[in-house]
Chains A and B, each alone.
Chain A
């Protein structure tokens, strides 16, 4: 979870609320890509954290080449989207009905990406500047502008993504392919291209989240691992296959995380462990999650 946010000394309620909102938003944003790839497509992508990491490094690379942080935020999803499509074409498409092998192969990809980034950029921690410096005043509290930016981006991204899949032709077709491949093919949709695009889109979201979250985090090759676990938990607990599920999961787990940190202050890892335990219990007793996808004649 976002430990850098929560190390702030206990504050007034408004502070707490805003910090919680940011950390919840961050969770949802990072998990959004996995919602598509795992939630919708059913691909157990253990490279999700690494894709986020590549997004963060792309933002870094763009910045260290002298360009504006905004450009980094635009380029990151493009780069990672391409990586995602490459993954789908070479690997994922062979493994659609082999879930355990998908877990393993994508973990292999995660390692490859981690090593590639280390070779290219070295092992030192990198830092990334946010596009919006300074602070804003909300509810009488002084608040870093970037933190507010994260909340805004998350809301916009979720709205666009939900809208895409619910109202646009591309989105509806993509859903059709996922839910009933044969039918979609019979109607003339190119399922291969659809899979590729959907997977690429999910990867791009992961990359975007990496670029957006990077200013808050230490950018290193293994930064994605913690987010990988968090994303899976948010998606599974929230409800595999629905965006509202991810939002619910993010609110629940992010909220609990902040709650535990406030209550058990000083023992952040215990708070983390407590959240993970809650998630485990939910997985065991309600595996369909909080907001399950509707029954899809299977």
Chain B
């Protein structure tokens, strides 16, 4: 696993790369049209969804194939409240109500499943089923939820009467994404995060040391549900349109693919994978899109079978290898006797 760096140190290549990426994202609106800025805002929202899944899957080992259910729930909450209940301030809707509802759903599902120690593949399949339920129910309620046509015309967030421009929404999304990343970084780098990895490695073993893993799993699952909810509600205000597929398992599994290819269990891999693949997706013409999807699926299969560390992991392994080579070259130059580094 890559060495953990504090996000503000600029010593290692990983930090430099992260910082460069952040700079590029900050500077993006200067170089692209307003429409594209709006599109990138949605990419950022999906990247946040990817982060939330990485916490649960990459770090805790709980494969969830239905996380879009919570994303979509947040999106629909924002859609309904922003359009129909203007009394509630937008900021509260997007950052309080939506994540609270999503967290509640996640908490309920998590408690239902973890209390019976449903894990592994059964957990994955169950979350998949939940996603399917959500999508089909949303498609059914034509009156309340817009049915298959969804809800459109969702306004941007208004702050004290002033409606955010596309660029402002973009920076809001970026801020939320970076903030969430830092928060999760703190979490996974703490002793709590170590327990998560213990659960991932061997849940029973971790229990036998005295950790109440059910509690830990419930906490991260609910937190990730809340994050997915925020991602969804932000998305609704930036895209202006929500529909049942936002809840469904095709989206859920798509994000899992982004994380796998980017590099699971690193946080940055999830963001990187999400942004890279969404960007590549958009640059391909309709004619090539099927070949691209197929190629991506094949790459995904390859990653699952042989390279679970993903692109970020492979890059950091390469850098480690180069660094170790350089160090041992130096050492042999100095003719130091001691440790043989392998």
Contacts and interface: CB of A to CB of B under 8 A. Distances in A.
B297 A100 contact: no
A276 B300 contact: no
Contacts, number: 100
B297 A103 contact: no
Nearest to B308: A101
A108 B298 contact: yes
Contact of B137 (A115, A222, A225, A270): A270
A116 B294 contact: yes
Interface in B260-315: 260, 290-291, 293-294, 296-298, 300-301, 304-305, 308
A241 to B, nearest CB: 14
A103 B121 contact: yes
Quick one: which of B63, B125, B308 has the most chain A CB within 10 A? B125
A64 B243 CA distance: 35
The SS class assigned to the B binding surface is: helix
Nearest to B124: A103
B81 interface: no
B104 interface: no
Given A99-B121, A284-B112, A279 B129 contact: yes
B116 interface: yes
B253 interface: yes
B108 interface: no
Contact of A104 (B260, B291, B293, B298): B260
Nearest to B113: A284
Given A104-B300, A283-B126, A284-B112, A276 B121 contact: no
The SS class assigned to the A binding surface is: helix
B125 A236 contact: yes
Interface string B85-117: 000000000000000000000000000110010
22 contacts: A99-B120, A100-B63, A104-B304, A105-B301, A105-B304, A108-B297, A108-B304, A109-B301, A111-B300, A112-B298, A115-B291, A115-B293, A116-B294, A225-B249, A229-B132, A269-B136, A269-B139, A272-B136, A276-B133, A280-B126, A283-B118, A284-B126
Interface of A: 44, 91, 94-95, 99-101, 103-105, 107-109, 111-112, 115-116, 118-119, 222, 225, 229, 232-233, 236, 267-270, 272-273, 276-277, 279-280, 283-285, 287
